[in-house]
Chains A and B, each alone.
Chain A
Amino acid sequence: MSDDLLRVRGLSTRFFTEEGQVNAVEDVSFTVRDGEVFGIVGESGSGKSVTALSLLDLVESPGRITDGEIWYRNPELADEYSGEFVDGDFVDVVRLPKRARRALRGPSFSMIFQDPMTSMDPSVTVGEQIAEAVEVQRRASANPRSTRSRTQGYGLGSLLLDSVVPTREYVSDESWARAVSLLEDVGIPDAKDRAREYPHEFSGGMLQRAMVAQALAGEPDLLVADEPTTALDVTIQAQILDLLREIQDERDTSIVLITHNLGVIARMADRIGVMYAGEVVERGTLADIFDDHVHPYTRGLVESVPDLDDPDARLDPIEGSVPSLLDAEMDDRCYFADRCPKAMEECLEDPAEFDAGDGGEHTAKCYLADREYDESRALADGHFDEEVGDGE
């Protein structure tokens, strides 16, 4: 078994909005190992993207990480610091100083976003944007105390400087050459010429490749891919998934793959976490989740997907819709109980993360993992009707 690269323990991220506190991510734990793909699957609003942003410390106000630890294995970093947030080779990045935390973006963690078109600057050539990422890394490693990139400069001074010094000046020839070779690595034909083009001249698939190249600029240990193929057609999706697989194999990069598409998860992931209402409700290997699932939500999710090979079966959807994540409206119970066909009296209390009992690391946040379903304790139909009210 390979070593752990990242151990996320009890991570909670909350948003303090005008309408109240939103518990977007609640007590989430998982482990990512060297060179593996860890898949996070869930529907919109389940907290999977906020989990990704939390890993990279990209959660913006009014949100912040309120609790939990993210232990990252990095012996060099562990040597540099001491204190209770260092444990052997592992460092809890949540408690790292702001500047050090930011410096991890690039050489340690990097991210690929869903929509390549809006994630790139339309007024700068693709090659330059990648070269800039390379340049930032190069300067940072030459002088670890100054991680300031040109894009982080604000104010009149940098405005004047920008208008006098053309953008290209910031990017050295070396970085440019490296950008071109990165573009070649991700399979862009004529990389030398295409690097001089602007994002709108690229197709969606090509631009997603360029974004992967940019994410690879710092040679990260961990690549976080948030719905990397959702905006693409299936034939292009297959190309991008191949590319991610290639990167994982050749560079031994670990990938956290976030998606709502169970097919993509099945194709790519070694181990999976299923998210619902901000929590990881079930966690295990690909086979645990697809064939031996315990949680009724996981079952519902897998059953809702139309099967290419069994077209006549009627779909078995999960009734109702995702609950509100406003703290004031959340009780301390299993959040899925109101939609669950097997809800029992104990489900009115928050279930612990039970071991699914098949010897592996398969866990489920559901009482069914701990005991048999008992019909005599089943909740009456309509138990939640009054408090939920607007369920479908």
Chain B
Amino acid sequence: MSDPLLEVSDLQKHYYERDSLLDTVLRRDPTAVQAVDGVSFEVREGETLGLVGESGCGKSTTGETVLRLREPTGGTVTFDGEDVADLSGDDLTAFRKRAGIVFQDPYGSLDPRMTAGEIVREPLDVHGVGTPDDREERVRDLLERVGLSADQFDRYPHEFSGGQQQRVGIARALALEPDFLVLDEPVSALDVSVQAQILNLLDDLQEEFGLTYLLIAHDLSVVRHVCDRVAVMYLGELVETGPVADIFERPQHPYTRALLESVPRPETAEADREITTLSGDVPSPRDPPSGCRFRTRCPAVIPPDDLDIDQSAFRAITDIRDHLDSGDLDADDVAAADEWRERVPDDVPPAAADALDDAFASLADNDEAAARERLRERFETVCERENPRLGDGEREAACHLVD
């Protein structure tokens, strides 16, 4: 196993809303958007680590914070033995040369007023690499290496197709001979046939220049194809890490499983494949659920030890509790309350039925607090009490089921 080039430990990035005057007067604490909350991983020399997750899970913020394009709220990022946060002056410049980024939107990340040649030469000019003639030659080499022809050097970004624009972006990232690249959704804006060209190119470049990649992606088939190891992210936290084959063949975390199952496969048997879709949406990172952040959508929440109840009934009950807690369900709306009650199957164990009856009776008496408390006492699960931690082994899943 090779040495880690990049080590990230307990990284946090919180965003705060601008306080209004009223907030200051009332001394209200600003609510933080916890975009990244305690993420730890390492990227080893020469490998590709895939950071996977759905939109809003914090994967791009992690990529940008690692490169110190954003200042972290907490935690440390160590690059080749040096703490990135401590770098300044010449050391920071040296770091900028060694670590680069390829962005998702190829057109948006290229200056429309510069030609392809100028775009690729800019980092060389900024860092004062070699003589002007050396730079010119290096630009030519780079653009040829990524598959553009000599007569395209003087063209502007809008004259290129999406795939060619992304090639220019890659050439620019390579200009300073970096060791490490963050690839932030490098192919998600491209058509499939072009996507494959760019993935093959990135693969070749990695081998040729001994690059280390952190690939940020939501497309699991791309991740499977390119990555050595994978880290799965959900709502600002890592939920599972491991070698790519393990993650794809033996996923342990219910979220990873659901994610893999949801990907439609391009094959004829797909039409008959059963998929258990995840219910609901991702909660807001402003107010993440207590305990395990995935529990509000999890198809495998652990019921209390002394309650023998099947998962769908338990899901219905936890949904009622979530709605009570968030204030969506209240005593005024009798019809809605009845509807929620009916979603729980009749064959739940007597202990559960009693608790539900009590709670809905309290609700009818306009005593929401009592209803909440009765349900909490009967149905509280380990998943809401404790946030499962991700160990630091080779193959980890942050889930109480795995412990």
A residues with a Cβ closer than 8 A to B are: 43-44, 190, 203, 205-206, 233-239, 241-242, 260-268, 286-287, 290-291, 300-302, 304-308, 311, 314-319, 321-322, 390, 392
Contacts and interface: CB of A to CB of B under 8 A. Distances in A.
B381 interface: no
A96 B30 CA distance: 61
A373 B328 CA distance: 66
Interface stretch (B136-144, B258-266, B307-315): B258-266
A287 B271 CA distance: 11
A291 B192 contact: no
A285 to B, nearest CB: 9
Given A311-B225, A315-B196, A317-B200, A290 B278 contact: no
A237 B258 CA distance: 12
Given A235-B54, A263-B270, A308 B264 contact: no
A263 B264 contact: yes
Given A234-B262, A321-B163, A392-B161, A266 B271 contact: yes
A237 B152 CA distance: 39
B193 A308 contact: no
Contacts of A319: 197
B224 interface: yes
Interface in B222-277: 222, 224-225, 244-245, 248, 258-268, 270-271, 273, 275, 277
17 contacts: A43-B192, A233-B218, A234-B54, A236-B54, A238-B261, A238-B262, A266-B268, A266-B270, A267-B273, A286-B271, A290-B268, A304-B192, A305-B266, A308-B221, A308-B260, A314-B200, A315-B196
Nearest to B249: A309
Given A43-B191, A392-B161, A234 B218 contact: yes
Nearest to B260: A308
Interface size class on chain B is 35 or more
A44 B221 contact: no
B199 interface: yes
Nearest to B265: A263
A261 B265 CA distance: 10
A321 B253 CA distance: 40
B345 interface: no
A237 B262 contact: yes
A308 B268 contact: no
Nearest to A234: B262
Nearest to B192: A304
B55 interface: yes
Contact of A267 (B161, B225, B271, B336): B271
Q: Which of A234, A236, A262 has the most CB of B within 10 A?
A: A234
B23 to A, nearest CB: 22
Contacts of A262: 192, 266
Given A190-B328, A266-B268, A311-B244, A304 B262 contact: no
Contacts of A241: 264
A305 B263 contact: no
Nearest to B148: A392
A234 B220 contact: yes
B195 interface: yes
Contacts, number: 135
Contact of B196 (A261, A266, A304): A304
B338 interface: no
A190 B221 contact: no
A233 B55 contact: yes
Nearest to A285: B268
Contacts of A308: 220-221, 224, 248, 260, 263, 265
Interface of B: 54-55, 147-148, 152, 161-164, 191-197, 199-200, 203, 218, 220-222, 224-225, 244-245, 248, 258-268, 270-271, 273, 275, 277-278, 281-282, 328, 336
Q: Which of B218, B263, B264 has the most CB of A within 10 A?
A: B264
B225 to A, nearest CB: 4
Nearest to A305: B266
Contacts of A392: 147-148, 161, 163-164, 197
Contacts of A290: 266-268
A242 B271 CA distance: 11
8 smallest beta-carbon distances between A and B, as pairs:
A263-B264, A317-B196, A262-B266, A233-B54, A266-B270, A306-B225, A315-B196, A43-B191
Contact of B277 (A206, A235, A260, A264): A235
Given A302-B266, A308-B265, A44 B191 contact: yes
Contacts of B147: 392
Contacts of A234: 54, 218, 220, 259, 262-263
Contact of B221 (A205, A301, A307): A307
Contact of B193 (A235, A267, A317): A317
Nearest to B244: A311
B225 A264 contact: no
Contacts of B222: 306
Nearest to B187: A306
A305 B244 CA distance: 18
B328 A238 contact: no
Contacts of A264: 264
Contact of B281 (A236, A263, A267): A236
Contacts of A321: 161, 163-164, 194
B189 to A, nearest CB: 10
Q: Which of A205, A317, A319 has the most CB of B within 10 A?
A: A317
Given A306-B199, A392-B148, 16 more contacts: A190-B336, A206-B281, A233-B55, A239-B278, A262-B266, A263-B264, A267-B264, A305-B221, A308-B263, A311-B224, A311-B225, A314-B200, A315-B200, A316-B196, A322-B191, A392-B197
A301 B193 contact: yes
A43 to B, nearest CB: 4
A305 B192 contact: yes
Contacts of B196: 304-306, 315-318
B262 A260 contact: no
A313 B265 CA distance: 16
A28 B260 CA distance: 36
Contacts of B194: 43, 317, 321
A317 B258 CA distance: 29
A238 B277 contact: yes
B192 A267 contact: no
Contacts of A43: 191-194
A260 B194 CA distance: 12
